Amino acid sequence: MAPVKLSSKYQVVIPRDIRRVFKLAPGQKLEIVVQDGRITLVPLGRMKDLRGVARGIDTRVRRDADRV
């Protein structure tokens, strides 16, 4: 874990090794999640990056008659 310092403008710098591991880029959006007294930054991906994520999924599932 890498400690960071909160600036007078309430900004933090994400350490270089963390940016590299998560392939963060300038201008990329992060979502802030607050849970159990913790702050978590979650990188938001582009919808374009999700293309093909479900490739090969079996779509032959049983459905209720009123859900078709």
**Tally of structural domains, the chain:** 1
Q: Write down the pLDDT at residue 43.
A: 87
pLDDT tens track for 13-58: 999 999 999 889 999 999 999 999 999 999 887 778 778 878 888 8
In a domain, 22, yes or no: yes
Range of the domain at 21: 14-46
**pLDDT higher than threshold 90 for residue 60:** no
The answer as to whether 5 is a domain residue is: no
Place of tokens 């009123």: 66
Contact 2, 18 (CB under 8 A): yes
Which residues on adjacent β-strands are paired with residue 31?
A: 42
* CB neighbours of residue 68 within 10 Å: 5
Above 80 in pLDDT, residue 68? no
